Amino acid sequence: MMAIWLLLRCGNYRRKVSVGNNELIFGQYSTGALVHSIAVVTPSISRNAGGLLDAVSGLVLRLPESGIEPHVFGLEDAYTQEDRHAWGAVRVTTAKAVGPKSVGYSPAMRRALLKSDVALVHTHGIWMHPSSDVVAWHRKHRKPYLISPHGMLDRWILRRSRIKKWIALAGYERAHLSGATCFHALSLEEARGIRDAGFKQPIAIIPNGVDMPVTEVQSRPPWWNGSYEGKRLLLYFGRLHPKKGLDNLLSAWKSMFQENKLGPGLELIVGGWGDQSYIDHLQRIVENRAADYRVRFVGPQFEEAKRQTYAACHGLILPSFSEGLPMVPLEAWSLGVPCALTDACNLPEGFDAAAAFRIREDVEDIKRFLAAFGSMSDNELSMIGERGRSLVEQRFVWSSVSQRMAAVYRWMLGEAGRPDWVVQGGERL
């Protein structure tokens, strides 16, 4: 951990970027703001990106409303073509990676990005080789770039896969992080983590967003069967990964079941994707007899099946150890589903609005929540969920989130003053 911290701090300086005349100015919006083209670099444009798919596509689809024309660059994978529609009419360029997929080395990606004479680059995610491509673009064009780590500078994350991160830092990531004009944090807590890692650049604090549903969910999810009628379903949804606290959730559930303390009709639905070895580990916690413990693993759910999954359940739990700002609670709240969250989810607004249960990551506290959740009335849960829906509508919709991000871009390009949500370089948090 210390070696990674030292590498992060080494060479941590602000480069002065000469923006000059911005290229690719297409005209004027009614607001009078110049229209700029930007590059958005993300490791994948498909479901393989996990939560980044919705976080990045949701943002770029709304940027044109604020006079920003995004051009997305990503690495090809097995689902690239199948999921291309998620990006709508946005221009997308994908390139094949060479060698280990976890590295993402792609000469074709670099060539395509270097040819792109956009006004700035916005990188989503770190620790992969596209970071090096962004640095190469910056050195060629002498224009600014913004980094959204999406929680990947969190201390809990830095403690994992240390050798891989050390190699990435030494090879390219230190230059990428140190040369950024600005960082983007999803929450105040993530911004503090960026400062703790030693970076003094300005930080824009802007949350993720969602689009509010325009139609009600009419159908049951694909995994549904008649046995769930009249049951109370608690949902975990997202990446199946140790940082999400699933080991403790399943251990707490198993303990409550064995002690005969689970509420009548209470069932746990586990939805999401992850490494098969970790999924096998989770299955072993419930002795490879998940159904006997009233647990069902339903796998990944996408698009309408995901909405149907949220709507079919009475609550969502996310007992995470580490997050940036997860999309899953926002999506659940938008459909009126109450959430149980740890402080690591970085959504204190949910607790303030009485739209979420505050839980700790440990087994005993999860057990206390399970007991309370099983004993609450449907009306009580519905009221909590409705407060969540109102919260999202007021503070987490993409239309307002994208406007705030566009304001950051214009400030970086010297066209506007520093927005209130940008913390100055070196300012303590």
- pLDDT, one tens digit per residue, over 103-119 is 999 999 999 999 999 99
Within 10 Å of residue 153's Cβ, how many Cβ atoms? 24
Alpha carbons 138 and 30: distance in angstroms, whole number: 31
Q: Which CATH class is domain 226-395?
A: alpha beta
What confidence tens digit (pLDDT) does each residue in 347-392 have? 999 999 999 999 999 999 999 999 999 999 999 999 999 999 999 9
Residue 18, pLDDT above cutoff 80 = no
- pLDDT of residue 194 exceeding 80, the answer is yes
- Do 2-209+397-423 and 226-395 agree at the fold level? yes
Burial environment of residue 39 by CB neighbours within 10 A (0 to 12, 13 to 18, 19 or more): buried
Per-residue pLDDT at 33:
55
Q: In the β-sheet with 422-423, what is the strand arrangement from edge to edge?
A: 91-95, 68-75, 36-44, 120-124, 145-148, 182-185, 203-205, 422-423
The predicted pLDDT at position 29 comes to 34
Mean pLDDT of the chain: 90
Sign for the pseudo-dihedral over CA of 36, 87, 206, 131: negative
As a whole number, mean pLDDT of residues 242-251 equals 96
- For residues 284 and 255, the answer to whether their CB atoms sit within 8 Å is no
Q: Is the predicted pLDDT of residue 405 greater than 80, yes or no?
A: yes
Spell out a b/e string for 137-151, using b for 16 or more CB atoms within 10 Å of the CB, else e.
Answer: bbeebebbbbbbbbb
Could you tell me the residue ranges of all domains in the chain? Answer: 2-209+397-423, 226-395
Greatest extent of the chain over all pairs of C-alpha atoms, in Å: 69
Is the model's pLDDT at 23 over the cut of 60?
A: no
Q: What mean pLDDT do residues 191-198 have? A: 92
pLDDT range class, residue 27, cuts 50, 70, 90: very low
pLDDT of residue 20: 32
Question: Given the DSSP bridges, would you call strands 203-205 and 295-299 parallel, antiparallel or unpaired?
Answer: unpaired
Whether residue 34 is predicted with pLDDT greater than 70 in this model: the reply is no
* pLDDT tens by residue, 327-351: 999 999 999 999 999 999 999 999 9
Joined tokens for residue 40: 């958005």
Model confidence at 215, pLDDT cuts 50, 70, 90, reads: confident
pTM for the whole thing? 0.86
Could you say which architecture CATH assigns to the domain 2-209+397-423? 3-Layer(aba) Sandwich (3.40)
Please name the amino acid found at residue 418.
R
